[in-house]
Amino acid sequence: MKADKEIRLTFHNRGLRSYIEVDLCGECPRQDDKGCCGHYSPVFYSTDLAYLALNQPDLLDLIFIQPHLTILDASVTVNNEIDGSSYRCRFHKREGGCLLEQQERESVCRHFVCPGINWQQEPALESWQRFFEGLEDYEIALHARIAQRLEDEGLTLRNPGTRDKFFEVLRDIYVEETRVIPEFIAKQARDQEVLLLRPLSYGEEWELFYKAHK
């Protein structure tokens, strides 16, 4: 029989750097010291790269020195490494978890909550569900606009020789494009903490992947 556990979720509205904190991660039911970060390769889009360029430029160096990057015109994927029977994100350490602070992570890392918690089923959290859906659409559209403007300037991340110029122009475009805060962000609460009671299972029985609807 599965035992119920009280799980604390904290939603943080920080615009494009919003995130969901889950206190269960510290004692992940997967019990493999990596949980969801054992299956994911973070993808940093132009919006993430611009934030880092403006606030933590040293982390851009950390990203670009990683082995096995997939570099596209305006995004970079830090491919994970094989670790036992699964993988491990290159930023995940056995001791202490992710090296990056929440706001430095890319969107999937900031928004993901494992399906066993399924917070989206709570009617009281509907405004947060709409908020994170809106954020995803906003970020995709913003990335597309920024990527197009960089392309128009003849700049691509694929060319290491013009990378400094790329980030210089990216910073300016990002500041200009994000000057007006969308209404759905401005009117959402800044933070909210909730407690949810959920039955836990352990090891591979604790699912990390959302099943596709039939």
Q: Which residues bind ligand SF4 (CB under 6 A)?
A: 37, 40, 42, 89, 91-92, 98, 100, 105, 109
> Whose CA is closest to 9, among 29, 30, 23?
23
- CB-wise, 40 or 166, nearer to ligand SF4? 40
* Smallest distance from ligand SF4 to CB 42, Å: 4
Find the shortest distance in angstroms from Cβ 46 to ligand SF4: 17
Task: Quote the DSSP letter at residue 119.
Answer: G
Q: Which is nearer to ligand SF4, 87 or 155 (CB)?
A: 87
Name 129's Cβ contacts closer than 8 Å, sequence gap at least 6: 120
Q: Which is nearer to ligand SF4, 89 or 114 (CB)?
A: 89
Closest contact distance (angstroms) between CB of 83 and ligand SF4 is 12
Smallest distance from ligand SF4 to CB 170, Å? 20
- Nearest Cα residue to 7 out of 193, 195, 201: 195
State the DSSP code for 207: -
* Least distance CB 2 / ligand SF4 (angstroms): 26
Nearer Cβ to ligand SF4, position 83 or 177? Answer: 83
Within 102-182, where are the H helices? 107-111, 126-152, 163-177
Q: Are 159 and 62 in contact (CB under 8 A)?
A: no
Query: Strand, coil or helix: what is 58?
Result: helix
For ligand SF4, the closer CB: 40 or 128: 40
Of the candidates 197, 189, 172, the residue with the CA atom closest to the CA atom of residue 119: 197
Least separation in angstroms between residue 98's CB and ligand SF4 is 3
- Give phi and psi for 81, each to the nearest 5: -115, 155
**Residue whose CB is less far from ligand SF4, 40 or 173:** 40
Query: Hey, CA dihedral for 66, 71, 74, 78, is it positive or negative?
Result: negative
Calpha distance 194→210 (Å, rounded): 22
